[in-house]
């Protein structure tokens, strides 16, 4: 599924980062690489952007950008994990 | 004894505590300037430690050395070209993995690097344990733990840095990221060609150059081609072939593969040096965020913070503003009484002191505003504000961060324009700069207050609020327009870190505030001073005006008239020993003379160069319902918006002591509520002040955008004011 389809409080693993050019590279450089485990912390009050926890830090992405990222093994997670 | 000097550059991710560390090392002995050719702040400081003069250079905070943003290019160029003796990479210890990404890149450049594992205490409370010795061994560089905000470990860090700078040992070539076989062989191949074809001319490490060329780094490619001369085409071709081969091999661009592999390398290090025991910690920062970015109360809290900031800025700022006002008045009165009447005196009092005084009065506002903004930045709330606002800002194709400069625009456009430096994309920056002046700055407020107070006193709040909202709408409409025409292109990615909330340090807040306040003061020293003198000259010349009335004779006439009255009264009162009659006659005489003088001043202004400019422009202002006096006032507003009010004061010949005199004069001049509204809208939208224009020039780096901004805002203002005035007349308002 796409990262943008994940719900608040779910964890998943990145399997592919799509898109192109600078944006894609930037996403990768921030540690959102294949195999990275992510936790969807929340969506902003206006439903966009969203906040992720990856590699122990918090990062926000727009929904349209998150739609470039494919994830799998998405499960509901206990909040205290993964920080 | 002359100390040996060593240059130390600080590199690191944003939010790694780099600035705090820098402030703690250099204290107040820092110099803030710009990096050559760009508008990113350059901070330097010189300190004497351990018998050396240390020149500390604070590089812009970056996540990587890929040239996406100006900051990254600056940091990279500095390291490559200036070759600091030592590079300190400040690493957020609680965020080791991502921080090491920049570190691996720094390691690829030929440079002596030392790690500062900063915020060691935060990492500890988070249950992270880092084996510094192991890390040092694995990467073959010194590692020091620091706690920037408690000033711990900094001395050791500097000592190690000096040791490293003085050591003769070669920079370790091992311990670098090793890429996969195909990539390594391509690097080696390219490296050999570079050495063969442009050896000796290229100042950079050839391995690094080869890596960057494989990554299709635009800047490095340009430079290599430039240096290679005739061999340039050969090299380009070779790069293309190698890249093509790698793309075929990995089904992916080499730069993507290499990013992946760097993280792979990092993962290996992390496994060896980091142990986590996170199970039982309570994350305060996340709990704060649950409230501050909450679905329902996030926005109300945000609005409250903004409201509080403005409340503080303007109500607390009102006190020092009053003191400055009194001070400036005092200085001007002092010169008034000491100096003989002359052109120079006029220049000094009415040009320089009045002009600079009218701007310096905003210093308290600016300092408080920047203190609040520094507070938002240092606590980490700023990125939450961007997180909340991004959706809205994205409607005009802007990044959530653009909200901040626009918000600052309500205070003063100058710092707001400067604040656009925080935006990564140049297009975003220019777009934000172009629309920020529509956010009604505080200097425009006195104009509204006079006009609203005169014509709309019953609904003052509502009208004022509408004006402000109108400015915001104008900014959005213009933003959308520019985005779809002049500044087309992909939006900047919104990959933004949300750092943990941190308790701010007063020292750093004060330094931030003062840096920006200084910028404002410098601007006053230069531009405003020149502007004030020019405006003064335009209103003080020509000197030999043909007055319509012989004012001197009139004054003499009044004097003569009252002379006889006083004599008569003196006779009468001599008997009654009553002086009050005499006094009242004298007062009457003085008032009559003052009235004549004011009329003379008004005529002088009318016939000055400024007046003739205003009168020439009168046909332009007439369709907006603004008479020539309003026109002249608007022209003088180019220097600073608040001058509009004082010019109106002179032109309507009102005495300063009477608070509502200007209002009465405006009403009797035939201005109507509708034309007042039209004038307010014009003031809201028309060309930004002199200082803002100078800031626009500096921040966009081009006269083109500066002139565009002037032309766009002014014509937009005219069209809107025209529609309001003429439309209002059509539907029966006046």
Chain A CB within 8 Å of residue B63 CB: yes
Share of chain B above pLDDT 90, in %: 26
What per-residue confidence (pLDDT) applies to B284?
A: 82
User: Residues B228-251: what's their mean pLDDT?
Assistant: 88
Q: How confident is the model at residue B405 (pLDDT cuts 50, 70, 90)?
A: confident
Number of C-beta neighbours around residue B277 at 10 A: 10
User: Residues B208-215: what's their mean pLDDT?
Assistant: 90
Q: How confident is the model at residue B280 (pLDDT cuts 50, 70, 90)?
A: very low
How many Cα neighbours within 13 Å face the side chain of A32?
A: 31
Number of C-beta neighbours around residue B428 at 10 A: 22
Angle (CA) B522 B74 B210, round 5°: 170
Q: Give the helix/strand (H/E) hosting B447.
A: helix B445-455
Q: Which residues pair with A40 in a beta bridge?
A: A52
Q: How confident is the model at residue B200 (pLDDT cuts 50, 70, 90)?
A: low
Q: Give the helix/strand (H/E) hosting B311.
A: helix B298-311
What per-residue confidence (pLDDT) applies to B37?
A: 58
User: Residues B533-543: what's their mean pLDDT?
Assistant: 80
Whether B501 has a pLDDT exceeding 80, the answer reads yes
Whether B107 has a pLDDT exceeding 90, the answer reads no
Contact A61 B66 (CB under 8 A): no
Contacts with A46 from chain B: Cβ below 8 Å: 388, 391-392
> Looking at CA atoms only, how far is residue B148 from chain A in angstroms?
20
Query: What percent of chain B is helix, strand and coil (3-state, nearest 5)?
Result: 70, 10, 25
**B215, closest residue in chain A (CA to CA):** A25
Q: How confident is the model at residue A82 (pLDDT cuts 50, 70, 90)?
A: very low
What per-residue confidence (pLDDT) applies to B446?
A: 81
Among the partner residues B98, B255, B295, nearest to A57 by beta-carbon distance? B98
On whether the CB atoms of residues B463 and B456 are closer than 8 A, the answer is: yes
Enumerate residues 6+ apart whose C-beta is below 8 A from B33: B41, B42, B43, B44
Please give the backbone phi and psi of residue B652, each rounded to the nearest 5 degrees, phi first: -90, 5
> Looking at CA atoms only, how far is residue B231 from chain A in angstroms?
28
On whether the CB atoms of residues B97 and B82 are closer than 8 A, the answer is: no
**B127, closest residue in chain A (CA to CA):** A83
Contact A44 B498 (CB under 8 A): no
Q: How confident is the model at residue A61 (pLDDT cuts 50, 70, 90)?
A: very high
CA distance A16 to A24: 11
User: Residues B639-654: what's their mean pLDDT?
Assistant: 76
Angle (CA) B216 B218 B223, round 5°: 115
ipTM of the complex: 0.92
Smallest Cα–Cα separation from B306: which of B403, B428, B417? B403
Restricting to B residues 465-494, those with a Cβ less than 8 Å away from any Cβ of A are: 490, 493-494
**Strands (E) located in chain A:** 10-17, 37-43, 50-54, 57-61, 69-76
User: Residues B349-361: what's their mean pLDDT?
Assistant: 76
Instruction: Give the start-to-end residue ranges of the domains of chain A.
Output: 3-76
CB-count burial class (<10 Å; 0-12, 13-18, 19+) for B64: buried
Beta strand pairing call for B30-34 and B496-497: unpaired
Residue of A26, A37, A51 for testing the chain B interface, max B β-carbons within 10 Å: A26
What per-residue confidence (pLDDT) applies to B73?
A: 83
Share of chain B above pLDDT 70, in %: 91
What per-residue confidence (pLDDT) applies to B369?
A: 77
How many Cα neighbours within 13 Å face the side chain of A43?
A: 16
CATH class of A3-76: mainly beta
> Looking at CA atoms only, how far is residue B132 from chain A in angstroms?
19
Whether A81 has a pLDDT exceeding 50, the answer reads no
CA distance B406 to B432: 7
**B81-85, B393-397, B636-640, B673-677: the lowest-pLDDT one:** B636-640
DSSP code per residue over B53-91:
EEEEEEPPP-S-SSTTSHHHHHHHHIIIII--SEEEEEE
What per-residue confidence (pLDDT) applies to B656?
A: 57
Chain A CB within 8 Å of residue B282 CB: no
The domains of chain B, with CATH numbers, are 4-166 (3.40.50.300), 181-276 (1.10.287.1770)
User: Residues B144-162: what's their mean pLDDT?
Assistant: 90
What per-residue confidence (pLDDT) applies to A69?
A: 94
Contacts with A58 from chain B: Cβ below 8 Å: 497-500
CB-count burial class (<10 Å; 0-12, 13-18, 19+) for B700: buried
What per-residue confidence (pLDDT) applies to B56?
A: 93
Angle (CA) B290 B296 B302, round 5°: 75
Q: How confident is the model at residue B229 (pLDDT cuts 50, 70, 90)?
A: confident
CA distance B180 to B250: 11
Contact A49 B493 (CB under 8 A): no
CA distance B58 to B416: 23
Mean pLDDT of chain B, nearest integer: 84
Enumerate residues 6+ apart whose C-beta is below 8 A from B311: none
**B395, closest residue in chain A (CA to CA):** A48
Q: How confident is the model at residue B3 (pLDDT cuts 50, 70, 90)?
A: confident
Contact B388 A44 (CB under 8 A): yes
């Amino acid at each position: 599924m796409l990262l943008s389809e994940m719900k608040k409080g779910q964890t998943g693993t990145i399997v592919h980062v799509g898109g192109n050019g600078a944006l894609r590279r930037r996403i990768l450089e921030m540690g959102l690489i294949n195999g990275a485990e992510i936790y969807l912390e929340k969506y902003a009050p206006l439903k966009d952007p969203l906040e992720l926890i990856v590699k122990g830090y918090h990062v926000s992405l727009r929904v349209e950008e998150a739609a470039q990222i494919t994830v799998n093994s998405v499960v509901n997670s206990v909040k205290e994990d993964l920080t | 004894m002359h100390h040996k000097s060593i240059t130390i550059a600080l590199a690191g991710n944003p939010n790694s505590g780099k600035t705090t560390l820098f402030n703690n090392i250099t204290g107040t002995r820092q110099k803030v300037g710009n990096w050559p050719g760009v508008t990113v702040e350059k901070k330097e400081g010189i300190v004497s430690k351990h018998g050396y003069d240390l020149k500390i250079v604070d590089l812009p905070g970056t996540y990587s050395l890929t040239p996406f943003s100006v900051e990254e290019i600056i940091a990279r160029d500095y390291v490559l070209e200036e070759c600091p003796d030592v590079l300190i990479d400040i690493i957020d210890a609680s965020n080791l993995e991502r921080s090491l990404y920049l570190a691996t890149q720094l390691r690829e450049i030929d440079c002596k690097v030392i790690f500062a594992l900063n915020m060691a205490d935060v990492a500890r409370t988070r249950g992270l344990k880092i084996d510094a010795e192991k890390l040092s061994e694995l990467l073959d560089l010194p590692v020091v733990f620091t706690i920037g905000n408690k000033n711990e470990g900094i001395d050791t860090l500097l000592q190690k840095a000096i040791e490293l700078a003085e050591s003769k040992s070669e920079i370790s070539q091992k311990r670098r990221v090793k890429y996969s076989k195909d990539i390594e062989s391509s690097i080696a191949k390219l490296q050999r060609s570079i050495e063969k074809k442009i050896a000796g001319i290229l100042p950079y490490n050839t391995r690094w150059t080869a890596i960057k060329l494989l990554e299709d780094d635009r800047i490095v490619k340009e430079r290599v081609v430039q240096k290679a001369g005739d061999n340039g085409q050969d090299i380009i071709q070779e790069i293309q072939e190698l890249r093509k081969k790698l793309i075929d091999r990995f089904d992916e661009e080499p730069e993507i593969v290499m990013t992946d592999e760097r993280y792979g390398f990092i993962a290996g290090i992390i496994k060896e040096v980091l142990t986590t025991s996170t199970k039982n910690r309570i994350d305060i920062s996340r709990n704060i965020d649950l409230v501050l970015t909450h679905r329902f109360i996030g926005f109300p809290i945000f609005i409250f913070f903004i409201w509080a900031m403005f409340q503080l800025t303007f109500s607390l700022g009102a006190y020092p503003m009053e003191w400055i006002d009194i001070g400036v008045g005092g200085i001007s009165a002092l010169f008034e009484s000491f100096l003989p009447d002359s052109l120079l005196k006029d220049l000094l009092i009415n040009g320089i002191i009045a002009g600079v005084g009218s701007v310096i009065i905003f210093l308290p506002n600016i300092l408080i505003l920047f203190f609040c903004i520094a507070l938002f930045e240092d606590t980490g709330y700023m990125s939450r504000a961007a997180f909340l606002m991004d959706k809205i800002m994205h409607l005009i194709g802007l990044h959530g961060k653009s909200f901040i400069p626009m918000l600052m625009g309500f205070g003063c456009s100058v710092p707001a324009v400067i604040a656009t430096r925080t935006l990564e994309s140049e297009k975003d920056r220019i777009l934000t700069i172009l629309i920020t002046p529509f956010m009604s700055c505080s200097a425009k407020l006195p104009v509204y207050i006079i006009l609203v107070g005169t014509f709309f006193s019953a609904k003052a709040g509502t009208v004022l609020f509408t004006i402000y909202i109108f400015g915001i709408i104008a900014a959005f409409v213009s933003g959308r327009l520019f985005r779809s025409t002049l500044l087309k292109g992909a939006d900047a990615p919104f990959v933004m870190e949300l750092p943990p909330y941190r308790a701010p340090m007063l020292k750093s807040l004060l330094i931030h505030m003062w840096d920006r306040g200084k910028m404002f003061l410098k601007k006053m020293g230069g531009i405003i001073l020149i502007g004030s003198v020019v405006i003064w000259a335009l209103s003080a010349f020509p000197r030999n005006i043909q007055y319509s009335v012989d004012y001197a004779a009139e004054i003499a006439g009044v004097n003569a008239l009252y002379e006889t009255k006083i004599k008569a009264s003196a006779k009468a009162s001599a008997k009654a020993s009553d002086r009050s009659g005499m006094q009242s006659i004298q007062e009457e005489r003085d008032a009559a003379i003052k009235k004549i003088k004011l009329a003379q001043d008004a005529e002088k202004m009318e016939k000055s160069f400024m007046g003739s400019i205003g009168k020439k422009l009168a046909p332009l202002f007439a369709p907006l319902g603004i008479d020539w006096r309003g026109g002249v006032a608007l022209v003088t507003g180019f220097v600073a918006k608040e001058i509009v009010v004082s010019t109106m004061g002179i032109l309507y010949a009102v005495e300063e002591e009477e608070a509502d005199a200007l209002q009465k004069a405006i009403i009797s001049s035939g201005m109507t509520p509708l034309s007042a509204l039209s004038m307010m809208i014009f003031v809201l939208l028309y060309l930004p002040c002199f200082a803002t224009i100078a800031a626009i020039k500096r921040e966009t780096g081009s006269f083109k955008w500066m002139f565009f901004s002037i032309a766009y805002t002014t014509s937009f203002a005219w069209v809107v004011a025209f529609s309001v005035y003429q439309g209002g007349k059509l539907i029966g308002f006046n």
